[in-house]
Amino acid sequence: MDFTLDEREQAVSDLATQILTDKITMERLAEIEAGDEWFDRDAWAALAASGLIGVAIDESHGGSGADLVSLGQLLRAQGATVAPIPLLPTTLAAAAIAELGGESLASDILPGVCDGSTILTIAVQEYLDDDLATPAAEVSDGAITGQKIVVEYADLADHMLVSAVADGRSGLYLVQPGDAGVMLTEGLSSRLEPVWQVDMAHAPCVEVTSADGAVGWLVERMRAGLCAIQLGVTEAALKLTAEYTTERQQFGRPVATFQAVTQRLADQYINVAGIRLTTYSALWRLSHGVDATEEVSIAKWWASERASAVAHASQHCHGGMGVSVEYPLHRYTLWNKHLTTSLGAGTRQLREIGARLAAP
Amino acid sequence: MADTAQSPLETATGPPDHSEFRSRVRVFLEEHPLAVPRGATVDDDIDEADSVRRAKTFQAALHDAGLAAITYPAEIGGGGLDKSFQEIYHKESAAYRLPVFPLAISHGMCLPVLNDFGTDEQKSEHLEKIIRAEEIWCQMFSEPGAGSDVASLQMRAERDGDQWVLNGQKVWTSGAQYCDYGLVVARTDPEQPKHRGLSMFKVDLSAPGVEIRPLRQITGDAHFNEVFLTDTRIPADWLVGELNMGWSVAIAMLMYERVALGAGGVSGGGGARPGAKRIAELAREHDRGDDPVVRNALADLYIRERLLTFIGMRIRAAADAGRAPGPEGSIAKLATAALAKDTTELILEVIGAGATAWPADDDSAETFVMAFLSAPAMAIAGGTNEVQRNIIGERVLGLPKEPSVDKNVPFKDLLVGTQR
Ligand SMILES: Cc1cc2nc3c(=O)[nH]c(=O)nc-3n(C[C@H](O)[C@H](O)[C@H](O)COP(=O)(O)OP(=O)(O)OC[C@H]3O[C@@H](n4cnc5c(N)ncnc54)[C@H](O)[C@@H]3O)c2cc1C
């Protein structure tokens, strides 16, 4: 790989950016935050209409057949516009169904995903449990019992992809949030959007896969996806900060001419470049079926640790404006912090990389 | 309220001795229902009006007991005692969380400035009320065009007979929504260079022409405001300090601010930030007590907390000895902001996935995440980190000043804010 986007990836990036910047204005976001659904249905429909939601789904199921690198461009565009849409869970649950599930499940569900009518979500996180590969949720007699937290869009999703153990094997199962035996409790995420705690008591489920490593397969792609969103978030925040500090005058000159500001922002440029390179490398390896364990951890470290530095610097260089919700930056700050802690912040990645390096 | 000029603690034979004073403080804090021992659970989920009410109730009781503004003269409502008593109060109250947060600016900044610069009438009219929290005051310096460069502010004050007429806009005014008065810096002579034509005024926030609009912060709270003054008229003798000498009053106030923000406040006895020991408990609760990464970070925080305590002691000692607060205020403020950031980050590390989302009724996770979200503001409020470092560089190390283009130009000729 040479770290430049090929024609198709560039086209996905341009189209997604165009649609999302057009739909997701700051006024629109304020409207959505004030409303009762954290979902821009209009933007979702526009993405579906131009074939983007199914970008990484096979053509036989109505998608465009591109790979994770292209999907990464879509997620990056979402981050750049902080678009409230269920993109990561829908596209990655779809990828799991396509790659790991049976053909009949795929042809049941994926066409609806591509045309925007079916929303999917992912439920893998359990309370105070960092080891996602061995969930406490259990399957018996075709029904799941257990609890999941931080489930996005559980209220709107048609299917949830749930990790659970059956006969001692971890696997992935589909549950319908509206079914008997499923209880949704609303909570708040550090992005200050609603997320759900899902309690399942003998909730009917359908097996997608119980193959070895299926949960790890999914979580690895989710982490890489979070990195791609974070890339868009940090790129946009840095751009906003460069514009603001160039415009903002104090002491008779733009604050960007103070070297304390210039140098700090130059460091953030390097941080964003690090997030970009490591994320692309991880996505590329995942797309090409090469082991990406280490690359995903490295990318997530950059997208957590160094992304935090970007959040702090961009907030700080805005002065009081960076703290106030009257100005768009705060949304990037909230997303950044949320993505940083999601599925393991920096220390967790270091531990995983260190364990591999120093293993006896 | 004491109706004599004598401190209620003072006996006929003179000031109380230290041990007697200490036991008075202890009894007061033990008995007052609003003084909560650190570590005990408190109901944090109260609205702002309630927290202001609590602050007022507590402060009035503190004053009745002769324990408010201990080193201020008894004639103006203080304790009339020397600094050694203040230190005792600090030590004793450090074990408690006191509900005085809404008074931080009023007591930490407005009170000493009014005491240093106010006229005798202003002092006798306000100091005791401020000490008792019958009145709460705020700081009105920053404007949309004037933050770090606050001397370039545009709020105008024009003389009309025996009144001043104020016009302009302030921004980021903390607490204006519940304050009675503000200390406002305004431009009284645009013919002079920017630092020289400023004056300080007290402004009644309920006066006609004052409009307060809340601004929400990233945490969703609305602690600060925009304040618009439109033809707001105040009597001529509401000038605080000398005409056109407002910059030195403002500088004094900013120094008190750094001290207040850095040294844990004058009346609070330590901020609300959880310390390393509290996080250690949290680490145990989350099974992270054995984790060397967490232990290293805890030890680091603990060492820095110590240092900050020493800096705070030094600042208070200087203040008690009657020395004007100096650049150590900048050091304390920088250290406090960095510590707040790293402390809240470690908490999130410790609580792990619980910090990504939490059940709607889980106050503790939400409190931690909100603290995390609000910590970066401490590096901005009261003069940003860069401004503090410039002060240290220029005033302590004696480095050459940053070249400035506008120092000696009449303000009216500068291209600032809407003059641009
Ligand atoms: C929570 C909070 C509460 C506040 N409460 C009050 C209040 O009660 N009353 C009040 O009057 N104000 C209040 N403020 C305002 C505060 O004092 C200002 O925000 C602060 O002084 C910075 O000004 P600014 O926001 O205009 O940022 P700017 O001055 O525009 O600064 C933008 C960036 O440029 C940098 N910069 C500016 N000049 C230099 C320089 N010379 N060298 C290097 N870098 C530089 C800054 O460090 C900052 O990162 C509050 C602010 C906050 C965040």
**Closest atom of ligand 1 relative to the A261 alpha carbon:** 44
Q: Do A319 and B147 touch (CB under 8 A)?
A: yes
Q: Reply yes or no on whether the pLDDT at B349 is more than 90.
A: no
Q: In a mutational test of the pocket of ligand 1, which residue from B105, B109, B142 has the highest number of ligand atoms less than 8 Å from its CB?
A: B142
CB of A307 closer than 8 Å to CB of A271 = yes
Q: What percent of chain A has pLDDT over 70?
A: 99
pLDDT of residue B271: 44
Q: Do B353 and A130 touch (CB under 8 A)?
A: yes
Q: Do A250 and B404 touch (CB under 8 A)?
A: no
Catalytic residue among B92, B128, B135, B257: B257
pTM of the predicted protein model:
0.93
pLDDT of residue B105: 95
Give the nearest chain A residue to B372 (CA atoms): A337
CB of B328 closer than 8 Å to CB of B311 = yes
B369-419: pLDDT as tens digits: 888 888 999 999 999 999 999 999 998 899 998 887 777 888 888 877 666
A50-73: pLDDT as tens digits: 999 999 999 999 999 999 999 999
Q: Do B402 and A251 touch (CB under 8 A)?
A: yes
Find the mean pLDDT for residues A134-160: 95
Q: Reply yes or no on whether the pLDDT at B79 is more than 60.
A: yes
pLDDT of residue B360: 66
Find the mean pLDDT for residues A309-323: 97
Question: How many other CB atoms sit within 10 Å of the CB of residue B396?
Answer: 13
Find the mean pLDDT for residues B48-58: 95
Contacts of A330 in chain B (CB under 8 A): 218
Q: Is A250 in the pocket of ligand 1 (CB under 6 A)?
A: yes
Find the mean pLDDT for residues B39-50: 76
Q: Is B135 a catalytic residue?
A: no
User: CATH classification of A120-209, choosing from 2.40.110.10, 1.10.4160.10, 3.30.1490.480, 3.20.20.70?
Assistant: 2.40.110.10
B282-295: pLDDT as tens digits: 999 988 999 999 99
In SS3 terms, chain B reads as CCCCCCCCCCECCECCCHHHHHHHHHHHHHHCCCCEECCCCCCCCCCHHHHHHHHHHHHHHHHHCCCCCCCCCHHHCCCCCCHHHHHHHHHHHCCEECCCHHHHHHHHHHHHHHHHHCCHHHHHHHHHHHHCCCCCEEEECCECCECCCHHHCCCEEEEECCEEEEEEEEEEEECHHHCCEEEEEEECCCCCECCCCEEEEEEECCCCCEEEEEECECCCCCCEEEEEEEEEEEEHHHEECCCCCHHHHHHHHHHHHHHHHHCCCCCCCCCCCCCHHHHHHHHHHCCCCCCHHHHHHHHHHHHHHHHHHHHHHHHHHHHHCCCCCCCHHHHHHHHHHHHHHHHHHHHHHHHHHHHCEEECCCHHHHHHHHHHHHHHHHHCCCCCHHHHHHHHHHHHCCCCCCCCCCCCCEHHHCCCHHHC
Give the nearest chain A residue to B402 (CA atoms): A258
Q: In a mutational test of the pocket of ligand 1, which residue from B173, B229, B384 has the highest number of ligand atoms less than 8 Å from its CB?
A: B384
Tokens of A134: 């061995």
Q: Which CATH architecture has domain A7-114?
A: Orthogonal Bundle (1.10)
Q: Name the pLDDT band for B44 (thresholds 50, 70, 90).
A: low
State which of A129-133, B78-82, B129-133 shows the largest mean pLDDT. B129-133
Q: Name the pLDDT band for B273 (thresholds 50, 70, 90).
A: low
Q: Reply yes or no on whether the pLDDT at A317 is more than 60.
A: yes
Q: Using a CB–CB cutoff of 8 Å, tell me whether B149 touches chain A.
A: yes
Least confident of A201-205, B181-185, B255-259: B255-259
Give me the CATH topology for the region A214-358. Answer: Butyryl-CoA Dehydrogenase, subunit A; domain 3 (1.20.140)
Q: What percent of chain B has pLDDT over 90?
A: 64
Cα A211–Cα A88–Cα A313 angle in degrees, nearest 5: 125
Q: Reply yes or no on whether the pLDDT at B2 is more than 60.
A: no
Least confident of A320-329, B185-194, B211-220, B324-333: B324-333
Buried-state track B345-366, b at ≥16 Cβ within 10 A, e below 16: bbbbbbbbbbbbbbbeeeeebb
| Residue boundaries of the structural domains of chain A | 7-114, 120-209, 214-358
Q: Reply yes or no on whether the pLDDT at B19 is more than 90.
A: yes
C-alpha–C-alpha distance, residues A158 and A108, integer Å: 12
CB interface of B with A, residues 217-256, below 8 Å: 217-218, 220, 224
pLDDT of residue B263: 62
pLDDT of residue B240: 98
CB interface of B with A, residues 362-381, below 8 Å: 362, 366, 369, 372-373, 376-377, 379-381
pLDDT of residue B267: 30
Question: How many other CB atoms sit within 10 Å of the CB of residue A142?
Answer: 13
Q: Do domains A120-209 and A214-358 have the same CATH topology?
A: no
Find the mean pLDDT for residues A245-255: 96
pLDDT of residue B309: 85
pLDDT of residue B8: 53
State which of A124-128, A250-254, B316-320 shows the largest mean pLDDT. A250-254
Q: Is A201 in the pocket of ligand 1 (CB under 6 A)?
A: no
pLDDT of residue B402: 82
Q: Is B145 in the pocket of ligand 1 (CB under 6 A)?
A: no
Q: Under 8 Å CB-to-CB from A245, ≥6 apart: which residues? A: A254, A255, A256, A261, A265, A317, A318
Name the burial class of residue A334, with classes exposed (0-12), middle (13-18) and buried (19+) by CB atoms within 10 angstroms of its CB: buried
Q: Name the pLDDT band for B268 (thresholds 50, 70, 90).
A: very low
Return mean pLDDT, chain B: 88
Find the mean pLDDT for residues A265-277: 98
Nearest to A320 among B172, B386, B415 (CB): B172
B306-325: pLDDT as tens digits: 998 888 888 877 877 777 76
Q: Name the pLDDT band for B34 (thresholds 50, 70, 90).
A: very high
Q: Which residue has the higher pLDDT, B261 or A187?
A: A187
- Report chain B's terminal Cα–Cα distance, integer Å: 53
pLDDT of residue B265: 39
pLDDT of residue B278: 87
